[in-house]
């Protein structure tokens, strides 16, 4: 079995649907930054890295002391070609570590929105068999450029860079393939102040009403991606 390092920034943003496939094939060690854990300086001893989401920005390293150590860890993983999966904030950290700019988007993208895969995704191991276009769950306001030498694998109408690949095995996914229905309900509750400030732009009730018809398909895709990433860790 491989060894995977999973970094969690906040308690309510966990592995979700990715938990079972990754934990079934790997020994998983969690670094819970919200509990004051420290980020390892090197990826040595681990066969895979997962960096999850959170409300902070990559550019807020003056407020969050763990951001710079995370960037150094990701840089080390890229150098040593260790498989990495970055989700939301994790994707932005990957982009930054690979030399790209990370910045606020023109608007926040929250709720169910379409994602379109590129031709490069058609030949990528992680996305083989995925539909060219599907409805995904989003909760982000920041975006990033594609790092030099990287690939853009998916886009949405509002955020053109939804999935990037850096090197042979590092992926950054801006949207949330990992969420369960319970997680979506919890996020809406936890982030009620953010949603209240977006009144008229984001409708929490509409999100919850759409979730039952969308979540099964999203979970199927997330489980498939998790199983494939887990096999990358095993190699």
Rounded to whole angstroms, how far apart are CA atoms 112 and 210? 8
Strand 163-166 to 170-173 pairing: antiparallel
Distance between CA atoms of residues 191 and 198, nearest Å:
11
Catalytic residue status for 176? yes
d(CA 118, CA 199): 33
d(CA 140, CA 110): 6
- Catalytic residue, from 9, 70, 88, 138: name it: 88
Strand partners, 7: 31, 51
The string of DSSP letters for 132-174 reads SEEEEEEEEEEEEPPPTT-EEEEE-SS-S-SEEEETTTEEEES
Say whether 119 sits in a helix, a strand or coil. Answer: helix
How far, rounded to the nearest angstrom, does the alpha carbon of residue 217 sit from its chain's CA centroid?
Answer: 18
What is the rounded end-to-end Cα distance, in angstroms, of the chain? 9
Does the active-site annotation cover 178? yes
SS3 18: helix
Catalytic residues: 88, 176, 178
């Amino acid at each position: 079995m491989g060894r995977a390092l999973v970094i969690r920034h906040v308690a309510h943003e966990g592995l979700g649907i990715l938990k079972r496939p990754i934990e079934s094939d790997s020994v998983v060690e969690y670094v819970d930054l919200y509990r004051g854990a420290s980020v390892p300086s090197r990826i040595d001893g681990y066969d895979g890295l997962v960096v999850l989401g959170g409300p902070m920005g990559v550019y807020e390293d003056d407020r969050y002391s763990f951001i710079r150590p995370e960037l150094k860890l990701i840089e080390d993983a890229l150098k040593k070609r260790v498989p990495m999966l970055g989700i939301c904030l994790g994707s932005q950290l990957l982009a930054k570590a690979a030399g790209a700019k990370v910045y606020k988007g023109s608007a926040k993208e929250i709720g169910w929105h379409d994602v379109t895969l590129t031709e490069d995704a058609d030949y990528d191991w992680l996305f083989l068999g995925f539909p060219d276009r599907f409805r995904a769950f989003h909760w982000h306001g920041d975006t990033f450029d594609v790092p030099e030498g990287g690939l853009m694998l998916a886009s949405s109408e509002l955020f053109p860079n939804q999935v990037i690949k850096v090197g042979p095995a590092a992926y950054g996914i801006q949207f949330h393939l990992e969420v369960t229905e319970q997680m979506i309900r919890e996020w809406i509750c936890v982030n009620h102040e953010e949603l209240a400030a977006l009144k008229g732009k984001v409708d929490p009730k509409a999100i919850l009403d759409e979730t039952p018809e969308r979540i099964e398909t999203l979970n199927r895709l997330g489980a498939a991606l998790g199983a494939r990433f887990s096999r990358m860790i095993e190699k």
